[in-house]
């Protein structure tokens, strides 16, 4: 008999095929996220769970799954999982680190270009029939080439974003709590220097108790008035209210966001601003990458059940 696996949302077919070769898969039948109660009810006999970043895998869920051996996140971020409790229960927690790096870096650059050159605002202007003639002062933005790119969190995605900046002749500065050996020129600086010197500040740190609201009122005040803030990591790294005030008062030039503090809820005040570009958390959203994430999540789950090392495990079990 195959071990049971709960998959909390339909993911690309190639991953389902892989999962079904090894598991008796039970998939969320709805075109929406499962509720906590539905997950708890479905997970009882499961030895493996493939979950989304929107599922809260807390003590209650873990306790509802006495046979669980692996929680395989269909994501690189795992702030939605109680890793400490899973570890205590002897459950491996895996993620899809690596496969989504380049797609997320591409999308980060889409936001950098769109915010600096006011792309979405300009397009809306044209669609509203307001483009009457070429004008010297129309939709002037910030240059990107030759500027200073500040990276907060120089892990895989931070590095991929920074590498792309070399083609724009940018100076790269970064702040990271983990030491990094980099294959390109970049200057490590303290947080204050990063905030004060970056023309574009791009966030790539994981969400932890230490990074929660790391970019708050005091930090935003240190940014240049021409600065652009980009977040494709996790929304709660930024104090959204403080950011909205800064953008409304034009204390920074613009912001580009793919993630939100209380996702998917987005404050009306943020939606009303013109100097922001807002995307619906699509950083890893290319067809190939979402498929590769599914295959990796499946391979991680299978490896744990086979007693092998998964491709990416975030906790250590005794
Ligand atoms: C992740 O994987 O954590 C991203 O936010 C979505 O792919």
pLDDT, tens digit (0-9, with 9 covering 90-100), for 71-85: 999 999 999 999 999
- The answer to whether 315 touches 158, Cβ cutoff 8 Å, is no
- The answer to whether 189 touches 174, Cβ cutoff 8 Å, is yes
- Look at residue 312 and tell me if it is in a domain: no
Does residue 210 have a pLDDT over 90? yes
If asked whether residues 107 and 223 sit together in one domain, one would say yes
If asked whether residues 191 and 61 sit together in one domain, one would say no
- Look at residue 213 and tell me if it is in a domain: yes
- Look at residue 301 and tell me if it is in a domain: yes
- 149 Cα: distance to centroid of ligand 1 (angstroms): 22
- Ligand 1: residue of 55, 73, 76, 95 to mutate (most ligand atoms within 8 A of CB) is 76
Q: Is residue 49 helix, strand or coil?
A: strand
Averaged pLDDT for residues 196-204: 98
Rounded distance, CA 279 to CA 273, Å?
14
The closest of 256, 263, 269 to 202, measured between CA atoms, is: 256
Output the pTM of the full model. 0.96
pLDDT at 318: 84
Q: What is the dihedral of CA 311, 106, 155, 296, to 10 degrees?
A: -10
- Look at residue 316 and tell me if it is in a domain: no
- Look at residue 10 and tell me if it is in a domain: yes
If asked whether residues 48 and 106 sit together in one domain, one would say no
- Ligand 1: residue of 11, 15, 57, 75 to mutate (most ligand atoms within 8 A of CB) is 75
Q: Which residue has the tokens 């970049």?
A: 186
Q: What is the CATH number of the domain that holds 59?
A: 3.40.50.720
- 76 Cα: distance to centroid of ligand 1 (angstroms): 5
If asked whether residues 59 and 111 sit together in one domain, one would say no
- Look at residue 311 and tell me if it is in a domain: no
Q: pLDDT grade, residue 179 (50/70/90)?
A: confident
Around ligand 1, the residues with Cβ closer than 6 Å are: 53, 75-77, 100, 283-284
If asked whether residues 171 and 264 sit together in one domain, one would say yes
pLDDT tens by residue, 101-137: 999 999 999 999 999 999 999 999 999 999 999 999 9
Rounded distance, CA 232 to CA 209, Å?
18
If asked whether residues 108 and 142 sit together in one domain, one would say yes
pLDDT at 264: 95
pLDDT at 126: 98
Averaged pLDDT for residues 87-91: 98
- 285 Cα: distance to centroid of ligand 1 (angstroms): 9
Token readout for 72 is 């395989």
If asked whether residues 227 and 93 sit together in one domain, one would say no
If asked whether residues 22 and 108 sit together in one domain, one would say no
Which residue range forms the structural domain that includes residue 68?
A: 4-99+287-305
Q: Is residue 247 helix, strand or coil?
A: helix
- The answer to whether 261 touches 286, Cβ cutoff 8 Å, is no
Token readout for 168 is 């724009």
**By percentage, how much of the chain surpasses pLDDT 90?**
99
Over the chain, what is the mean pLDDT? 98
If asked whether residues 54 and 127 sit together in one domain, one would say no
Averaged pLDDT for residues 86-94: 98
pLDDT at 295: 98
- Look at residue 82 and tell me if it is in a domain: yes
How many separate domains does the chain show? 2
Averaged pLDDT for residues 257-272: 97
- Look at residue 51 and tell me if it is in a domain: yes
Q: Is residue 132 helix, strand or coil?
A: coil
Q: pLDDT grade, residue 16 (50/70/90)?
A: very high
If asked whether residues 83 and 119 sit together in one domain, one would say no
pLDDT at 167: 98
If asked whether residues 23 and 130 sit together in one domain, one would say no
DSSP-derived letter for residue 33 is P
If asked whether residues 69 and 188 sit together in one domain, one would say no
Averaged pLDDT for residues 238-255: 98
């Amino acid at each position: 008999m195959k071990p049971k696996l709960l998959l909390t949302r339909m993911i690309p077919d190639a991953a389902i095929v892989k999962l079904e070769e090894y598991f008796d898969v039970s998939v969320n039948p709805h075109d929406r996220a499962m509720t906590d109660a539905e997950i708890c009810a479905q997970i009882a006999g499961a030895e493996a769970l493939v979950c989304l970043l929107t599922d809260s895998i807390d003590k209650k869920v873990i306790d509802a799954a006495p046979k669980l051996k692996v929680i395989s996140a269909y994501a690189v971020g795992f702030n939605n999982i109680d890793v400490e409790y899973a570890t205590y229960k002897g459950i491996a927690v895996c993620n899809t680190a690596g496969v989504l790096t380049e797609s997320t870096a591409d999308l980060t650059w889409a936001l950098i270009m769109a915010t600096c050159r006011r792309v979405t605002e300009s397009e809306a202007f044209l669609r509203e029939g307001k483009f009457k003639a070429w004008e010297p002062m129309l939709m002037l933005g910030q240059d990107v080439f030759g500027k200073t790119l500040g990276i907060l969190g120089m892990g895989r995605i931070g590095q991929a974003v920074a590498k792309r900046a070399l083609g724009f002749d940018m100076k790269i500065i970064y702040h990271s709590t983990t030491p990094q050996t980099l294959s390109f020129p970049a200057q490590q600086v303290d947080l204050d220097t990063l905030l004060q010197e970056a023309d574009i500040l791009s966030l790539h740190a994981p969400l932890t108790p230490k990074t929660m609201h790391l970019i708050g009122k005091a930090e935003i005040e240190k940014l240049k008035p021409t600065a652009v803030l980009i977040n494709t990591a996790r929304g709660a790294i930024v104090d959204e209210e403080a950011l909205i005030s800064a953008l409304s008062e034009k204390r920074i030039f613009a912001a580009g966001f793919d993630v939100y503090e209380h996702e998917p809820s987005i404050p009306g005040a943020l939606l009303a601003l013109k100097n922001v570009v807002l995307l619906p958390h699509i950083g890893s959203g290319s067809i190939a990458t979402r498929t590769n994430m599914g295959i990796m999540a499946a391979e991680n789950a299978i490896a744990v059940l086979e007693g092998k090392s998964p491709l990416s495990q975030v906790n250590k079990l005794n």
